[in-house]
């Protein structure tokens, strides 16, 4: 009897051990799977998975990286982009470095944006070579890349939405030639030798003068990185080196305001004409009183809209033009308040 009882108890014990082992194994496996999904724990893992699914369906996202951020020009581009994104059902992020010379910071911004898995990337590169490899990798994954303003390299770009910078420089040269009566000495203060649109604004100006105004001499070209203080010093050195200088052309707002300050400090306002690019409160005031004879403005709101609209078309598999010209206009004291011009000028 005792032997039978002992045998029964041994069988029960073995069965209990097996049952407990099976239960523990199942629990460990489930926990491991949850941790693989999300290290924050089972509830967090399940919630994260649900959020990811929702994001994939509803959170359509376009990353936009600009040359800069704080200037009103970029805020106008951002406004246009946000308007288009809202209409088309997309979310955008829009960022840029504090200064338009911060190449490394812009590269870091691009890398961070890519980690958020955008459906498309819109970029105005400070230095196209610095982002070429990164953008080529994204294109290889099927992510559309749209350049805006300065754009990106041709090999990386599916489309570019920008002012035709060569045409804009030529438009400035056309008015400069008329103001000079076809004769005189001109100097140029550019803002970058690496940013594509900056290079093209100077090239367009040069080419137009050479083609149509052979009696206008370009005596000097220097670059001030769009920095007002540097551009002011350049302007002062130019009028000292060429006392009979007739006109200075500048390729962006910082260059123009800096040159204006340099001419003012040199007592040359009104004697040396100044032609600018873009706008600001200081530029608009100086244009109104004739101290800046005129400038070129772009359409930043339209540019932002065009970039997002092109991105969405490409995401949807539609074709877009490789270059979308968003336009440029000459403004001076005579038309600064016109209905067509005034909305394109920013402080």
pLDDT at 195: 86
List the end-to-end C-alpha distance of the chain, in Å, as a whole number.
103
Residue 16 CA, distance from chain mean position: 68
Are the C-beta atoms of 296 and 278 separated by less than 8 Å? yes
pLDDT at 185: 98
Residues facing residue 188 across a β-bridge: 221, 249
Q: Which residues of the chain have pLDDT under 70?
A: 1-58
- The DSSP result for 147-176, as a single string, is EETT---TTT-SEEEE--HHHHHHHHHHHH
Specify the pairing of strand 328-331 against strand 294-298. Answer: antiparallel
Buried b (16+ CB within 10 A) or exposed e, 173-199: bbbbbebbeeebbbbbbbbbebbbbbb
- Tens-digit pLDDT profile for residues 150-209: 999 999 999 999 999 999 999 999 999 999 999 999 999 999 998 888 999 999 999 999
Residues of the chain with CATH 3.40.50.2300: 59-163+300-316, 165-298
| Gap between the Cα atoms of 283 and 256, Å rounded | 8
DSSP state of 321: -
At residue 77's C-alpha, the angle toward residues 73 and 80, to 5°, is: 140
Tokens representing 268 are 């040359």
| Gap between the Cα atoms of 259 and 277, Å rounded | 12
Residues sharing a CB contact under 8 Å with residue 317, sequence separation 6 or more, in sequence order: none
3-state helix, strand, coil in the chain (%, to 5): 55, 15, 30
pLDDT at 58: 52
Predicted structure pTM score: 0.72
Domain spanning 165-298, CATH class: alpha beta
pLDDT at 135: 97
What CATH superfamily is the domain 59-163+300-316? Answer: Response regulator (3.40.50.2300)
pLDDT at 262: 98
């Amino acid at each position: 009897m005792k032997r039978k009882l002992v045998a029964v108890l041994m069988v029960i014990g073995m069965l209990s051990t097996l049952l407990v082992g099976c239960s523990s194994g199942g629990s460990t496996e489930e926990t491991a799977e949850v941790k693989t999904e999300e290290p924050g724990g089972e509830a967090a893992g399940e919630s994260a998975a649900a959020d990811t699914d929702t994001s994939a369906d509803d959170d359509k996202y376009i990353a936009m990286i600009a040359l800069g951020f704080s200037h009103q020009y970029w805020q106008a581009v951002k406004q246009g982009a946000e308007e288009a994104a809202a209409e088309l059902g997309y979310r955008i992020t829009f960022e840029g470095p504090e200064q338009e010379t911060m190449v490394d910071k812009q590269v870091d911004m691009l890398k961070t944006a890519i980690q958020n898995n955008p459906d498309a990337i819109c970029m105005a590169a400070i230095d196209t070579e610095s982002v070429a490899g990164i953008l080529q990798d994204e294109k290889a994954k099927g992510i559309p890349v749209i350049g805006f303003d300065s754009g990106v390299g041709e090999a990386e770009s599916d489309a570019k939405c920008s002012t035709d910078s060569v045409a804009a420089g030529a438009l400035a040269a056309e008015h400069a030639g008329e103001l000079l009566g076809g004769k005189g000495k001109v100097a140029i203060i550019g803002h970058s030798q690496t940013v594509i649109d900056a290079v093209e604004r100077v090239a367009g100006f040069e080419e137009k003068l050479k083609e149509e105004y052979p009696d206008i001499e370009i005596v000097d070209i220097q670059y001030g990185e769009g920095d007002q203080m540097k551009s002011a010093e350049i302007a002062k050195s130019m009028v000292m080196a060429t006392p009979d200088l007739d006109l200075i052309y500048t390729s962006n707002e910082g260059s123009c305001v800096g040159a204006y300050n340099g001419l003012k400090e040199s007592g040359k306002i009104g004697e040396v004409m100044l032609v600018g690019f873009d706008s600001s409160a200081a530029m608009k005031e100086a244009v109104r009183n004739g101290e800046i004879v005129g400038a070129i403005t772009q359409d930043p709101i339209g540019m932002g809209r065009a970039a997002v609209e092109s991105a969405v078309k490409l995401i949807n598999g539609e074709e877009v033009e490789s270059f979308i010209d968003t336009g440029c206009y000459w403004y001076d004291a005579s038309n600064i308040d016109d209905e067509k011009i005034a909305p394109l000028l920013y402080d």
